[in-house]
């Protein structure tokens, strides 16, 4: 960490556009990236949005976040001492950056240094047993003392216990809603203590009231911030298992605490062990396993070189986008899709999109299989899917699978 | 099982000699095999014993079991309805036969069919928790209902609970002492019930009172009878872990039931899971894992072809001894070690034995390393070790390691 190279930073205008883009309808982290790829920047993407959604088959105008809304979010953020950190900036958590659906912007309260330290997520049941809570406490203290920040989800039970146990050594709480709507309410005093000692973060609009589906979505950030996720106690269909599944998808280590075969609160963790999770009966198990990944060089390596803190001319670099994914003119094609140029449609793309829609159904299929079946280039598939996602017609699952949304669901508005 | 070929059977005289040989001082299952290899039969081995032990460096006469002692054991066996089954006979448990230190003779009370069925060992703490006992019960019933005989060690706690739970489907109890000294005494009524429904076996002299070191020795038979061993609850240095270690050495599957990291009674089982044991939270886990090894063909394949139940002319075949390990005349050697001939010493062997003694110390080394360092043939090493073991000067550990006994220990008499 000592000699980390200076990293790029968005200009105020760029940050404004980024926030406005990610707050627009049907724009998730994945589409955000695709839009920056296709359009060369957030400003251009914002301009292209209505057109792209229409091409994807949206039946009504896509809702682009207004500048008033973003002004209001910035104002509220100032009041609550919330800072925004963009993907690729120096303050962005380096390990979170590696996940597929890394939030383009993280809203942070507290000490941003916490986001730079190696972290371990500890999660578990809301209605944990006394033994489960005691173990969670012991584990969080041990892992904290070994130099790791402890990440969790602020929920009743195991989550809150591990936050309290790691206040002294560093802890990060991830909200499922916005900073102006802290949830659960009972955790508000704890949240304030975490803000003093560690950090509380959110990817959601600052006034967002969390709903059911926001919790699994949040869980990918809990696991994504951490080198490893430990599940302390979890019943058979516990949210903690979703966090564990995300950790696996993110190629992070998963640990589970064992429990009696007769204890329903251990069914989920025992099942994880059967599926190959590492067994955790003490902090040492985690610390020992992570030791080889600890060196600070790893964290240095995750940062881009980039300019010395000055605003970037373009936003591709800050996203770390693979240049090959950027549309560009190739021989024989009559497209003009140079870097930074606004996205340009074509008959070929139109035809590919039609084939893709025809091929998609309610059962998720992999992007590879889709591209093969559609006989389209990976790039055309990507662009078509971006349009369809903006139109609210498809949904991704597991990172590399996509399905058509049921018609009624596609009509409902998605998060802001 | 349907068309199992008829298997060999020892004559009454042969059985008498076998029993007498295995009941003689310093003759364990391994030395028993080596003696039959070297001497061609138990009778010849009995005659050679004093000489061999002297050559190995015994300071006093080796105690060969008397014919009176063996008469007495046979008489008591008749009274207690104990039958003797010899290694290689049709009634010998086919899976037990595969282990390195398979007892040459098993003394059996109860239904010998039980020894022919595929079996699973379930073991655990003497002072198990209520949950541990309930789980043991559930597990034994499930595994029994799936068609496996359940093997255990008759001890208080988990062992007795699994015997009771599997009485209806078949169970085998393994004694650490002899049949005339059933241990623990509290288990006597249970033992009588097992004899009715299953089998109780022992490798020890019928009047043997079990001592501390007889229990680990017995545990190799518990695991050796079974395709898999399940440990239900075990503290950090529990005898059940010895059974698990034997199972691993015998290339059998090891399962462990998980438990809370805060429960000292689960420390041993959780540790097994860390070391790679399979997790077991239900009978299904074991039954599913064993399914591929179930076919009865496997059991048929384990039997020798052999004569139609008639007495064998020689005892090599019944042991399934590798013919290459039998001393025989080779060109250039002036030895006369033909099959069945009495063992003959030589200067070369003498020299090899001296080198081996010089090389051995209190730290166990592998037989391979020993043979290499001694610059002796594998056969000479084997014969020299047999002599040294008869002289009570060495001890084996882990099947393929050997060490010199401390001088005081070598003086003490070993089990009969």
Instruction: With CB atoms and an 8 Å threshold, state whether B260 touches A261.
Output: no
How remote is the C-alpha of B235 from its chain's centroid?
A: 25
Rounded to an integer, the average pLDDT of A77-102 is: 94
Instruction: Please tell me which of the candidates B134, B260, B274 has its beta carbon nearest to residue A279.
Output: B274
SS (H, E, C) A323-352: HHHCCCCCCCCCCCCCCCCCCCCCHHHHHH
The whole-number pLDDT of residue A325 equals 41
Q: Which residue from A minimizes the CA distance to B273?
A: A279
Best residue in A138, A275, A279, A286 to probe B by mutation, most B CBs within 10 Å?
A279
Say which of B257, B267, B270 has its CB closest to residue A261.
Answer: B257
pLDDT at A240 over 90: yes
What length does chain B have? 416
CA distance A154 to A185: 10
Percent of chain B with pLDDT over 70: 83
With contact defined as beta carbons under 8 Å apart, do B152 and B171 qualify? yes
% chain B with pLDDT above 90: 60
Inter-chain CB proximity B261 and A257 less than 8 Å: yes
Nearest by CB to residue B279, choosing from A131, A134, A270, is A270
Test mutation, A142, A262, A276, chain B, max B CBs within 10 A: A262
Nearest to A261 among B261, B262, B282 (CB): B282
pLDDT above 90 for B16: yes
Q: Is the pLDDT of residue B352 over 90?
A: no
Answer for the pair A120, A227: CB distance below 8 angstroms, yes or no.
yes
- pLDDT (mean) for B241-269: 95
Minimum mean pLDDT among A198-212, A325-339, A345-359, B160-174: which range? Answer: A325-339
Q: Which residues of A touch B142 (CB under 8 A)?
A: none
* Distance between B286 CA and the closest CA of chain A, angstroms: 12
Contact state of A131 with B263 under an 8 Å Cβ cutoff: yes
Contacts of B266 in chain A (CB under 8 A): 258, 260
Q: What is the pLDDT of residue B399?
A: 66
Which pLDDT value is given to residue B4?
52
pLDDT of residue B349: 83
Share of chain A above pLDDT 90, in %: 60
CA separation for the pair B132, B266 (Å, rounded): 9
Residue A362 in this model has a pLDDT that exceeds 90: no
CB pair distance less than 8 Å for B258 and A274: no
Q: pLDDT tens across A42-84, in order? A: 999 999 999 999 988 888 899 999 999 999 999 999 999 999 9
**H-helix segments, B151-213:** 158-165, 188-197
- State phi, psi for B400 to the nearest 5 degrees: -130, 20
Residue labelled with tokens 């696991």: A223
Contact at CB, B260 and A135, closer than 8 angstroms: yes
Higher pLDDT among residues B375 and B270, named by residue? B270
Mutate to test the interface with A, among B261, B262, B269, B280 (most CBs of A within 10 A): B261
| Contact state of A274 with B279 under an 8 Å Cβ cutoff | yes
Of A131, A261, A280, the CB nearest to B262: A131
Average pLDDT of B359-388? 85
Task: With beta carbons less than 8 A apart as the criterion, state whether A413 and A75 touch.
Answer: no
Q: What are the residues of chain B with a beta carbon less than 8 Å away from any beta carbon of chain A? A: 131-132, 134-135, 257-263, 266-267, 270, 273-274, 279-282, 285
Q: Which of A131, A262, A281 sits opposite B135 (nearest CB)?
A: A262
- Chain A partners of B261 at a C-beta cutoff of 8 Å? 135, 257-258, 280-282
Distance to chain B for A224, nearest Cα, Å: 25
Q: Which of A128-142, A328-342, B114-128 has the lowest mean pLDDT?
A: A328-342
pLDDT beyond 70 at A401: yes
**What is the pLDDT, as a whole number, of residue A6?**
60
Distance in Å, alpha carbon of A262 to nearest chain B alpha carbon? 7
Q: Residue A318: pLDDT above 70?
A: no
Strands B278-279 and B365-366, bridge-based pairing: unpaired
* Residues forming beta bridges with residue A335, ordered by sequence position: none
> DSSP label at B181?
S
Rounded CA-CA distance B35/A402 in Å is 70
With cut-offs at 50, 70 and 90, classify the pLDDT of residue A355: confident
List, for residues A167-211, the tens digit of each pLDDT value.
999 999 999 999 999 999 999 999 999 999 999 999 999 999 999
User: Which pLDDT band, with edges at 50, 70 and 90, does B339 fall under?
Assistant: very low
Residue B135, min C-alpha distance to chain A (Å) = 7
pLDDT for B304 beyond 80? no
Query: How many CB pairs below 8 Å do chains A and B form together?
Result: 64
Measured between beta carbons, the chain B residues lying within 8 angstroms of A259 are 258-260
In A, what residues contact B, Cβ < 8 A?
131-132, 134-135, 257-263, 266-267, 270, 273-274, 279-282, 285
Q: What pLDDT digit, counting tens, does each position of B153-171 carry?
A: 999 999 999 999 999 999 9
pTM exceeding 0.80: no
A281 to chain B: which residues are within 8 Å by CB?
261, 267, 270, 274
Best of B124, B137, B262 to disrupt the A interface (most A CBs within 10 Å) is: B262
Q: Is the Cβ–Cβ distance between A224 and A96 less than 8 Å?
A: yes
Please state the rounded mean pLDDT for residues B243-249: 94
Closest CA to A108 of A198, A22, A21: A198
pLDDT at A354: 87
Characterize B84-99 residue by residue with b for buried, 16 or more Cβ atoms within 10 angstroms of its Cβ, and e for exposed. bbbbbbbbbbbbbbeb
Chain B partners of A135 at a C-beta cutoff of 8 Å? 260-262
Q: What is the Cα A188 distance to its own chain's centre?
A: 23
pLDDT at B310: 34
Report the alpha-carbon distance of residue B308 to residue A206 in Å, rounded: 87
B105 versus B352: the higher-pLDDT residue is: B105
A132 compared with B372, residue with greater pLDDT: A132
Picking from B70, B74, B163, the residue whose alpha carbon sits closest to that of residue B114 is B163
A345, A55 contact by CB (below 8 A): yes
User: Is B281's CB within 8 Å of A263's CB?
Assistant: no
Mean pLDDT of A384-403: 84
The distance between the two most distant Cα atoms of chain A, rounded to a whole number of Å, is 68
Q: How far apart, in whole angstroms, are the C-alpha atoms of residue A352 and residue A386?
A: 13
Q: Is A397's pLDDT higher than 80?
A: no
Q: How far is A21 from chain B (nearest CA, A)?
A: 47
Q: How would residue B409 be classed by pLDDT, with cut points 50, 70 and 90?
A: low
**Mean residue pLDDT across chain A:** 85
ipTM over cut 0.85 = no
Alpha-carbon distance A281 to nearest alpha carbon in chain B (angstroms): 5
- pLDDT given for residue B247 in this prediction: 95
Mutate which of A138, A233, A260 to disrupt the B interface (most B C-beta within 10 Å)? A260
Which residue would you say has higher pLDDT here, A414 or A290? A290
pLDDT digits (tens, 9 = 90+) for B172-229: 999 999 999 999 999 999 999 999 999 999 999 999 999 998 999 999 999 999 999 9
Q: Which chain B positions have a beta carbon within 8 Å of A262's beta carbon?
A: 131, 134-135
- pLDDT higher than threshold 90 for residue B374: no
What is d(CA A18, CA B137) in angstroms, rounded to the nearest whole number? 61
- Check B279 against A273: CB less than 8 A apart: yes
CB atoms within 10 A of CB B348: 14
């Amino acid at each position: 960490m000592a000699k980390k190279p200076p990293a790029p930073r968005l200009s105020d205008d760029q940050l404004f556009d980024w926030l406005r883009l990610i707050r627009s309808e049907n724009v998730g982290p994945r589409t955000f990236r695709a839009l920056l790829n296709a359009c060369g920047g957030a400003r251009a993407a914002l301009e292209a949005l209505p057109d792209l959604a229409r091409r994807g088959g949206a039946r009504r105008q896509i809702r682009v976040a207004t500048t008033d809304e973003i002004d209001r979010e910035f104002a509220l953020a100032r009041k609550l001492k919330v800072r925004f950190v963009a993907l690729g900036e120096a303050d962005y958590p380096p390990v979170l950056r590696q996940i597929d659906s890394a939030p383009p912007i993280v809203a942070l309260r507290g000490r941003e240094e916490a986001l730079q330290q190696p972290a371990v997520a500890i999660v578990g049941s809301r209605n944990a047993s006394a033994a489960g809570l005691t173990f969670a406490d012991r584990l969080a203290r041990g892992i904290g003392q070994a130099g790791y920040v402890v990440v969790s989800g602020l929920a009743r039970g195991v989550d809150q216990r591990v936050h309290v146990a790691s206040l002294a050594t560093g802890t990060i709480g991830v909200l499922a809603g916005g900073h102006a709507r802290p949830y659960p309410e009972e955790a508000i005093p704890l949240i304030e203590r975490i803000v003093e000692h560690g950090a509380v973060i959110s990817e959601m609009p600052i006034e967002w009231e969390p709903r059911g589906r926001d919790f699994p979505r949040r869980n990918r950030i809990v696991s994504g911030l951490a080198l490893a996720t430990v599940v302390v106690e979890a019943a058979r269909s516990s949210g903690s298992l979703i966090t564990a599944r995300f950790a696996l998808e993110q190629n992070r280590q998963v640990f589970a605490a064992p429990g009696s075969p007769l204890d329903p609160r251990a069914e989920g963790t025992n099942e994880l062990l059967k599926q190959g999770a590492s067994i955790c009966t003490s902090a040492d198990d985690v610390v020992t396993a992570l030791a080889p990944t600890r060196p600070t060089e790893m964290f240095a390596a995750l940062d881009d070189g980039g300019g010395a803190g000055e605003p970037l001319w373009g936003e591709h670099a800050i996203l770390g986008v693979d240049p090959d994914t950027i549309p560009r003119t190739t021989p024989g094609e009559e497209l003009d899709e140079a870097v930074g140029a606004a996205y340009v449609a074509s008959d070929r793309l139109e035809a590919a999109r039609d084939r893709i829609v025809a091929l998609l159904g309610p059962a998720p299929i992999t992007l590879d299989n889709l591209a093969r079946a559609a006989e389209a280039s990976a790039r055309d598939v990507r662009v078509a899917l971006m349009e369809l996602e903006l139109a609210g017609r498809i949904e991704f699952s597991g990172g590399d699978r996509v399905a058509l949304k049921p018609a009624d669901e596609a009509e409902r508005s998605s998060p802001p």
